[in-house]
């Protein structure tokens, strides 16, 4: 019985230590979430203004031509898969990668190329034989544009150079601290009757919007500079949303783990009290039995 009591006490101590860790991680993630959410929100007006300028140029110049505005037969598709570097975030990575695998299940491996942002996604994709052409890991919790500028430019160049015929963003869209949904949205080409906004409001670049402006040196020159930057901005905006979703998911997962640890502590404490009561009752019975034997 003494051995059982020691085991129960050791288990309770272990769970309490784990509970302290999960509670601390929950609080840290909550703190990071607020900042990440603010950064994700602040990036949207910039992308929206760029989109407004692009739509005005495209509407006001009927003969404007740019590779990023032209659809072509899709023979090869590029996917930008954004996951986290660390785990302990509930189903954040698993749900996204499951949705991606379901989407491309009928796509031949030779007809796709993948840019992986995040260690979890990279490891998953390489292990299952997906063609990962480029990767970036070890990003901070609050990445700057310069951290992904090089890989964003390389990714957009895959489309403009004709290596791929479409670029698709795969990331967790941040809806609220409790809701993050896998989103698979086409990034390039920018013209699409099916586009509904992308990660920062990407829409049909030829759709009329706002008033017309005059551009120097020419609308075409401005457009050739803006379009790659706009696509790169959408990638960065998706990354910021994904980071906010990661912190939110980790906060929720650690909160659930803390609650579960509390329930386990209550359960084992009840078992410990019952075991102690049984041990005390047994000792009293032995004392009474010994006393009766001496008096007999």
The CATH number of residue 67's host domain is: 3.40.1380.10
Rg (CA), the chain: 28
Question: Is the pLDDT score of 220 beyond 60?
Answer: yes
Q: What is the pLDDT, as a whole number, of residue 44?
A: 82
Beta-sheet strand order (sheet of 77-82): 132-136, 112-117, 77-82, 166-176, 179-188
Do 138 and 157 lie in one domain? The reply is yes
Q: Is residue 181 in a domain?
A: yes
* pTM reported for the whole predicted model: 0.81
Do 73 and 122 lie in one domain? The reply is yes
Q: What is the pLDDT, as a whole number, of residue 202?
A: 42
Q: Is residue 9 in a domain?
A: yes
Q: How many domains does the chain have?
A: 2
Give yes or no for a contact between 144 and 136, defined as CB atoms under 8 angstroms apart.
Answer: no
Do 203 and 280 lie in one domain? The reply is no
Give yes or no for a contact between 67 and 172, defined as CB atoms under 8 angstroms apart.
Answer: no
Longest dimension (CA), the chain: 116
Q: What is the mean pLDDT of the chain?
A: 84
Mean pLDDT, rounded, for 197-222: 54
Q: Quick check: bond before 43 cis, omega within 30?
A: no
Q: What is the pLDDT, as a whole number, of residue 59?
A: 65
Do 228 and 126 lie in one domain? The reply is yes
Q: Is residue 179 in a domain?
A: yes
Q: Is residue 144 in a domain?
A: yes
Distance between CA atoms of 92 and 87, rounded to whole angstroms? Answer: 9
Q: Is residue 38 in a domain?
A: no
Do 277 and 149 lie in one domain? The reply is no
Q: What is the residue range of 286's domain?
A: 2-27+258-295
Q: Is residue 153 in a domain?
A: yes
Do 188 and 86 lie in one domain? The reply is yes
Q: Is residue 108 in a domain?
A: yes
Mean pLDDT, rounded, for 174-197: 74
Do 9 and 69 lie in one domain? The reply is no
Give yes or no for a contact between 122 and 116, defined as CB atoms under 8 angstroms apart.
Answer: yes
Do 146 and 230 lie in one domain? The reply is yes
Q: What is the pLDDT, as a whole number, of residue 258?
A: 95
Do 90 and 237 lie in one domain? The reply is yes
Band (209; pLDDT cuts 50, 70, 90): very low
Mean pLDDT, rounded, for 94-102: 95
Q: What is the pLDDT, as a whole number, of residue 126?
A: 94
Q: What is the pLDDT, as a whole number, of residue 83?
A: 95
Question: Is the pLDDT score of 127 beyond 60?
Answer: yes
Give yes or no for a contact between 58 and 205, defined as CB atoms under 8 angstroms apart.
Answer: yes
Percent residues over pLDDT 70 in the chain: 87
Do 91 and 188 lie in one domain? The reply is yes
Q: Is residue 32 in a domain?
A: no
Do 97 and 179 lie in one domain? The reply is yes
Do 91 and 108 lie in one domain? The reply is yes
């Amino acid at each position: 019985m003494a051995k059982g009591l020691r085991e129960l006490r050791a288990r309770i101590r272990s769970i309490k230590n784990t509970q302290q860790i999960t509670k601390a991680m929950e609080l840290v993630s909550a703190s990071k979430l607020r900042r990440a959410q603010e950064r994700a929100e602040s990036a949207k007006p910039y992308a929206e203004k760029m989109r407004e300028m692009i739509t005005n140029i495209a509407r006001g110049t009927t003969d404007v031509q740019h590779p990023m505005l032209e659809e072509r037969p899709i023979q090869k598709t590029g996917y930008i898969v954004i996951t986290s570097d660390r785990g302990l975030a509930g189903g954040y990575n698993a749900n996204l990668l499951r949705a991606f695998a379901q989407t491309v299940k009928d796509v031949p491996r030779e007809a796709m190329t993948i840019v992986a942002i995040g260690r979890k996604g990279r490891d998953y994709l390489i292990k299952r034989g997906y063609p990962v052409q480029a990767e970036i890991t070890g990003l901070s919790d609050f990445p700057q544009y310069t951290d992904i500028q090089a890989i964003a430019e390389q990714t957009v160049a895959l489309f403009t150079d004709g290596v791929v015929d479409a670029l698709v963003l795969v990331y967790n869209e941040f809806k609220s601290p409790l809701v993050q949904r896998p989103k698979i949205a086409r990034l390039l080409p920018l013209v699409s009757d099916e586009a509904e906004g992308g990660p920062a409001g990407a829409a049909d670049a030829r759709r009329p919007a706002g008033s017309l402006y005059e551009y120097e040196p020419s609308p075409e020159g401005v457009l050739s500079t803006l379009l790659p930057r706009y696509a790169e901005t959408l990638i960065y905006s998706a990354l910021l949303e994904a980071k906010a979703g990661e912190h939110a998911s980790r906060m929720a997962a650690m909160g659930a783990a803390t609650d579960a640890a509390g329930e386990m502590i209550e359960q084992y404490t009840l078992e410990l009290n019952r075991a102690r009561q049984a041990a005390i009752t047994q000792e009293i019975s032995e004392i009474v039995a010994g006393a009766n034997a001496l008096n007999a």
